[in-house]
């Protein structure tokens, strides 16, 4: 029973991190109908930014976190302006290819700047986060415990933002009907940039929480998590933020439990992908997604 609860907690925790990144995918897809292949690599770059701040520049963690989030946001917005904006009127495949190109560029850039060897993440400097916390018979690190709480708070804030604010309404309008929103005077560029700001900011946060328990970052570190987070977004319903949260939890839990099993542990990623295929075939709109009707 204890192992079960332990796994649940770990699963929800890693699931929350996946949710934070999945939100980036789901929001961008909702507005631009683009799978941002580069999102996982932005997450990876955030990891490197943290290393630069804390290990190379010796900035204390509370400032570093802020700098990393800001830097990642800038990276995300710049990528959108340079690589996606010019292709807004181009066929869908072109912008997807551009996203792939950006992903490729970021991975090569990271390899060039930081070398392909894994660099160690300064988790020890944030030692207090690795403190162990005990609840009954379960013991875990503080960060594992904080993560889901933080994530749920952020998601709630985001949902409020989307439902109650003007910019949120603009975002919903754009994701419903891009062209008409433009005609109605919605400032498309601002809305899109804002979407990337939120997505990248959350990815940066997810990156910090992700890499703390892992000891290192390497250039391809964003590739597989990025893919898994996209699975989470599809699971919950692409375009839905609460869906991304639920999807993230589901993927995190399934992964943790599979990893816990002796026979299947090496197949944890395989199972994640098989779940993706099943969802795409059975209910492509995911748990909370909306059906988009195509007119013949």
Nearest to residue 200, comparing CAs of 31, 29, 64, 42?
42
Say whether residue 276 binds other proteins (CB under 8 A): yes
Question: Which tokens is 56 given?
Answer: 């190379």
- For residue 22, the minimal CB distance to other proteins (Å) is 13
Residues contacting other proteins: total by CB under 8 A = 47
Say whether residue 262 binds other proteins (CB under 8 A): no
Region near other proteins per CB under 8 A, out of 102-110, 195-203, 239-247, 253-261? 102-110
Nearest to residue 250, comparing CAs of 3, 16, 6, 1?
16
- Partners of 120 in beta bridges: 216
- For residue 216, the minimal CB distance to other proteins (Å) is 17
Contacts of 153 (CB under 8 A, 6+ apart): none
Neighbouring CB atoms inside 10 A of 273's CB total 13
**8 Å CB contact between 196 and 76:** yes
Over the window 15 to 54, marking each residue x when it contacts other proteins by CB under 8 A and - when it does not, the resulting string is --------------x---x-x-------------------
Binds other proteins (CB under 8 A): choice among 105, 161, 188, 197: 105
Residues of span 152-191 touching other proteins by CB under 8 A: none
Cα-flanking dihedrals φ and ψ of residue 283, to 5°?
Answer: -140, 80
Cα-flanking dihedrals φ and ψ of residue 117, to 5°?
Answer: -70, 140
Binds other proteins (CB under 8 A): choice among 96, 142, 188, 197: 96
- For residue 177, the minimal CB distance to other proteins (Å) is 18
> Residue for token digits 């290819």?
97
Rg of the chain (C-alpha set):
19
The binding site for other proteins (CB under 8 A) comprises 29, 33, 35, 82-83, 86-87, 90, 92-94, 96-98, 100-105, 107-109, 111-113, 115-116, 220, 223-224, 227, 230-231, 234, 266-267, 269-270, 273-274, 276-277, 280-281, 284, 296
């Amino acid at each position: 029973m204890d192992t079960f609860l332990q796994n649940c907690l770990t699963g929800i925790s890693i699931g929350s991190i996946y949710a934070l990144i999945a939100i980036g995918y789901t929001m961008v897809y909702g507005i631009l109908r683009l799978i941002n292949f580069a999102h996982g690599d932005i997450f990876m770059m955030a990891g490197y930014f943290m290393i630069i701040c804390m290990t190379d520049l010796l900035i204390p963690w509370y400032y570093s976190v802020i700098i990393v989030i800001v830097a990642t946001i800038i990276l995300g917005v710049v990528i959108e302006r340079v690589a996606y904006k010019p292709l807004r009127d181009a066929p869908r495949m072109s912008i997807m290819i551009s996203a792939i190109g950006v992903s490729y560029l970021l991975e090569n850039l990271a390899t060039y700047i930081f070398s392909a060897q894994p660099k160690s993440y300064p988790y020890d400097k944030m030692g207090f986060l690795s403190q162990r916390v005990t609840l009954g018979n379960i013991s875990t690190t503080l960060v594992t415990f904080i993560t889901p709480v933080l994530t749920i708070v952020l998601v709630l804030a985001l949902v409020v933002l989307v439902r109650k604010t003007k910019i949120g309404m603009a975002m919903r309008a754009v994701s419903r009907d891009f062209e008409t929103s433009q005609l109605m005077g919605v400032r498309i560029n601002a809305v899109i940039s804002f979407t990337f700001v939120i997505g990248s900011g959350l990815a940066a946060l997810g990156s910090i929480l992700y890499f703390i328990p892992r000891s290192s970052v390497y250039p391809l570190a964003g590739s597989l998590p990025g893919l898994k987070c996209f699975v989470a977004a599809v699971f919950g319903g692409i375009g839905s933020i609460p869906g991304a949260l639920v999807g993230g939890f589901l993927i995190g839990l399934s992964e943790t439990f599979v990893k816990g099993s002796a026979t299947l542990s090496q197949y944890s990623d395989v199972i994640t992908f098989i779940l993706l295929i099943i969802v795409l075939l059975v209910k492509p709109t995911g748990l909370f997604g909306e059906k988009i009707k195509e007119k013949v």
